[in-house]
Chains A and B, each alone.
Chain A
Amino acid sequence: MLLGLDVGGTFTDGAVIVDGKVVSVVKTPTTHGNLLKGILAAVDQVVEEVGSRHFTRIALSTTIVTNAFVEGDIDQVGLCIMPGPGMEIKAALPVEPYVLSGYIDHRGRVLNGPRQNEVIEACRQFGSCDVFAISGKFSVRNPCNELAVVQWVKELASPDHITIGSEVSGNLNFLRRTNSAYYNAAVWRHFNIFATAVETALKARGIKAPVYVLKADGGTLPLLVARDYPIEAIFTGPAASVLGIMAMNPTDIPFLSLDIGGTTTDIALWQNGVPLFAEGGARVGGFATALRAFKLSSIGLGGDSLVYQTRGVLKVGPMRLGPAMAVGGQSPTVTDAMVVAGLVDFGNRELAIEAMRQVAFDGRTPREMADIVLRAAVNIISQSIGDMLVQQANKPVYRVADVVHGTRFTVGHIIGVGGCAAGLVPLVAGHLGLTYDLPKQGMVANAIGAAVARPTVDITLRADTVEGYYTVAELGIKNKLSSSKFTLADAYQLAAAHLAELATNKGISLDVTEIIQSEEFNVIQGFRTVGKIMTCRLQVKPGVLMNNKEEL
């Protein structure tokens, strides 16, 4: 019995899955200011409906981290960076960092160590900070400088928490890792207070199930682990819906999904049964981070989007003033148009007709107006879909074969979920000449997704046979290679072993693992091959648990 909870802008949804079947669905209002209240109300309702509190697992998708940023409830972070030579990075960071000496080059060689006197000065300057973030260029190739600074900061400032750049991501991109580390440290305290409150409240209700937190990449983390990586819990709402779609529509054929809610429409492109990931990572507060997340295009168009005229031009969204007039709102909305056009049966039809009358021009009837409004809405969504497909086709590739054979993404099918999908998706599909599906439980795809999300973790192993060592940034490992004849196959094997180790550390089991990236280059000195550089990234594949037999 899997319980999924998704805290949205309007509703907190709950879903219980038993043997792959949805057995209970609840919807309670989201309690802004105190999210826990709404979450517990949903839990209580579910317990009452299913008559049991013995869940196998509770998975939570919340806006707690997003809200912390929106409300400015974040901590001052002692951000220390080791940029070495290169681009001036300061202006691209959300806060002023303290710049330390120390440089690792692209091969992972220490060219310059950090200096303790500088760290002492940094700690003095950040005297009021309880949390620190430490990040160095090329630390994923060799974490030793970062780890030395961490040790000194611990001794000198004893902060509550330190986020280490090479631990938040194993990928190259110092800028993104630094931003990730900063944001992680900034929300650490806020998230931990929430996590403690959740644990206490569930314990008081006699609920003993382990609690997991959904991540932006569709995986889950045990709450205990999430306490160290709270940034992973941002943007989980759209990820939850995406997983819900995965659970309801297992197919390997490329398609696109539209999650149409009250305020926004999220578009995702799917290939081999999973959505595409955002290149490099998600953006947080306008800053590029290394946070793994689905590639979603979010547009300000939903059922509650305001319909209005400005200088004789009809506008649809992105503003939302309130609910549809059909259910007692003050202003005309897209939902009112859907009601008038007979696409959905919702609220008071007379009030919806009045809404369309308010925006009518040139003597159009409310019915004609409804069509005009819907056509405008469909155009906005279709335009964004088109942009996303073009962007995908123009994605840079670095091999001749990939240019020759192309990476064009073609879709023929739409899956629509979310409260307002039923009215709009058929119109969008018609406009684009695609087929479509509206899964039965699409209205609570988000909660279902949270319930069944499979725990995931990924790892990057890089071996340099000339330098004679390999690194696994996520584990802070830099070890000697056992043999100079180390091959890519050996690298996979070693990566798999370390992935298992990392999974154990994070309290999750290895399920289906897959290679997400691998490359191998010869190193040549003076016209002679002297060794190889290999990189392989392995992950526990994101996915869904559809029966209780699957291990968590």
Chain B
Amino acid sequence: MDAKKLGLVFFPAFDWAINPVHPEREERLLYTRDQIVEEGLLDMPGIQEYKPNMARFSDIERVHIGVPDIKALITNAHLVSAGAAIAAADAVRQGEVDRAFALTRPPGHHAMRVVHGTRGFCAINIEAIMVEYLRTVYGIRKVAIVDTDVHHGDGTQDIFYHDADTLFISFHQDGRTLYPGTGFTDEIGSPMALGTTLNIPLPPGTTDDGLHQVLDHLIMPVLADFKPEIIINSAGQDNHYSDPLANMNITAQGYARLADKLKADIAVLEGGYSIENALPYVNVGIILAMAGMDYRKVIEPDIDKCPSEPLAVTRAIKSLVEERKGMWTMRERLRREVVAKTGDFWQRNRNIYYDDNGINERQTETVRLCPKCSGYLTIGTEAYGSGFVYKSAFAAVISREACSHCRQTAVDAVYKAKKQGKYQHYFVQNKHEDRLEKM
């Protein structure tokens, strides 16, 4: 372990809650604050604390299309939390620190590109906002996001599903047993970005042993293969054995060793709701590991309660790793085959549920597979729910490297939809010109 300088953007949002008894409430990081301060971590020469600023709406609209408007759907807390992720990115890219950890809330990894409300405690995707900020401000292209939250990072997956420059790896408790019920092995990205979405659904009861199997034999080799310019960790902490919302058995040591191996440039907190028994220890472990300091003594006082891994689980993980490795190795061939089979357009229809607001969204995505560029995407969205006023929108997303023909066709598609008048709102998210236009 060699000492590295770690930037810590600590923002516990002590005055913000979804509601007073919601898991995402004021004191979620209180005991973590107590532990960090009591340890004296903020006085260590290798750890520099940073204050977040509020993210700008232009930062958010680089990623999200809010219906009717993102401003109406979020609070200042979301702007600060996204600002915390951006502050972490700046600290690293300005060379002030070697790595950074945005220990911030509210979280973001369930927030998708189109936003009608809050789902899985998330309204805007703070990692995705940070990634697009890094691309715009620092000219970064290839990014890897490793989501280590117990829940599938479906929002992040959605946002980068058509982007071959973003490798999204998520391990999580199997979607058949846990919210949001996605993240299966057949979700591998749309044809042009096939293989750059890598889901690793783990059986309930997975321990540090199983997790590090996956890390050593799958995630690390895949990362080495992909050669990203930057590695982001969506550092959810709810795989912990004491977490009340899930059924995994990872310890603080397991998480700290993960952080040590992964060597993410930037980590951003996601979930984790065992606020008293897990978060204080897991966070101290991650901070020490990221700062290159000795974390071996960070052990939960109730470690005896952590079960060992059933043999069946260990076996299931082994075969999962083999299967996933196979997919990764064959991804280029698979992609060529699928692209050839698909033709000019690829389409998918989905129902998306917003558990925090009781909203149902019906969405149709159409991706233009352009042989000359990264193409464009159109989205038709309709949202309804009891006590929710029906909303709909049609949008085109023009990729950063879209050719002039695709750029024009995308805008035309929106004008055409507007003429037909089936939707209430019309948008062009123009990444080529870095702006969101309401038509």
Contact = CB atoms under 8 A, between A and B. Distances in A.
A292 interface: no
Contacts of A396: 10-11, 49-51
Contacts of B13: 398-400
B80 A92 contact: no
A521 B30 contact: yes
A15 to B, nearest CB: 37
B154 interface: no
Contacts, number: 126
Contact of A92 (B33, B40, B300): B40
22 contacts: A85-B298, A86-B298, A87-B39, A87-B297, A88-B293, A107-B276, A112-B301, A173-B43, A174-B40, A176-B43, A394-B51, A396-B10, A397-B51, A398-B12, A399-B13, A403-B53, A404-B80, A521-B27, A521-B30, A524-B21, A527-B21, A529-B20
A175 interface: yes
B16 interface: yes
A78 B333 CA distance: 68
B301 A111 contact: yes
Contact of B80 (A83, A172, A403, A522): A403
A204 interface: no
A86 B54 contact: no
A404 B40 contact: no
Contacts of A202: none
A436 B299 CA distance: 55
A107 B10 CA distance: 21
A483 B415 CA distance: 67
B280 interface: yes
A106 B32 CA distance: 9
B281 interface: yes
Given A89-B40, A398-B11, 20 more contacts: A85-B281, A87-B295, A106-B35, A172-B34, A172-B37, A176-B43, A395-B51, A396-B49, A397-B51, A398-B10, A398-B14, A399-B13, A400-B75, A400-B76, A403-B52, A403-B80, A521-B30, A522-B27, A523-B27, A524-B27
Contacts of A398: 10-14, 33
A172 B301 CA distance: 19
A390 to B, nearest CB: 11
Interface residues of A, number: 43
Interface centre among A92, A400, A529 (most CB of B within 10 A): A400
A401 interface: yes
Interface in A358-415: 394-401, 403-404
The 6 closest A-B pairs by CB, nearest first: A175-B40, A521-B27, A288-B43, A88-B294, A399-B15, A396-B51
B26 interface: yes
B25 A173 contact: no
A463 to B, nearest CB: 14
B301 A85 contact: yes
Contacts of B295: 87
A295 interface: no
B353 interface: no
B297 A172 contact: no
Contacts of A84: 301
B76 A404 contact: yes
A19 B41 CA distance: 48
Contacts of A524: 20-21, 25, 27
Interface in A82-107: 83-89, 92, 103, 105-107
A176 B40 contact: yes
Given A395-B51, A398-B14, A524-B21, A175 B43 contact: yes
Contacts of A537: none
A522 B26 CA distance: 8
B86 interface: no
B352 interface: no
B280 A106 contact: yes
A280 interface: yes
B40 A533 contact: no
B77 interface: yes
Interface string B279-315: 0110010001000011111111100000000000000
A138 interface: yes
A175 B47 CA distance: 14
Contacts of A112: 301
Interface in A514-547: 519, 521-524, 526-529, 533
Interface centre among A83, A103, A105, A528 (most CB of B within 10 A): A105
B188 to A, nearest CB: 37
A137 interface: yes
B38 interface: yes
Nearest to A402: B15
A394 B30 CA distance: 21
B30 A533 contact: yes
A396 B50 CA distance: 6
Contacts of B37: 172-173
A398 B20 CA distance: 18
B31 interface: yes
Contact of A85 (B15, B25, B276, B300): B300
A175 B35 CA distance: 12
Contacts of B49: 396
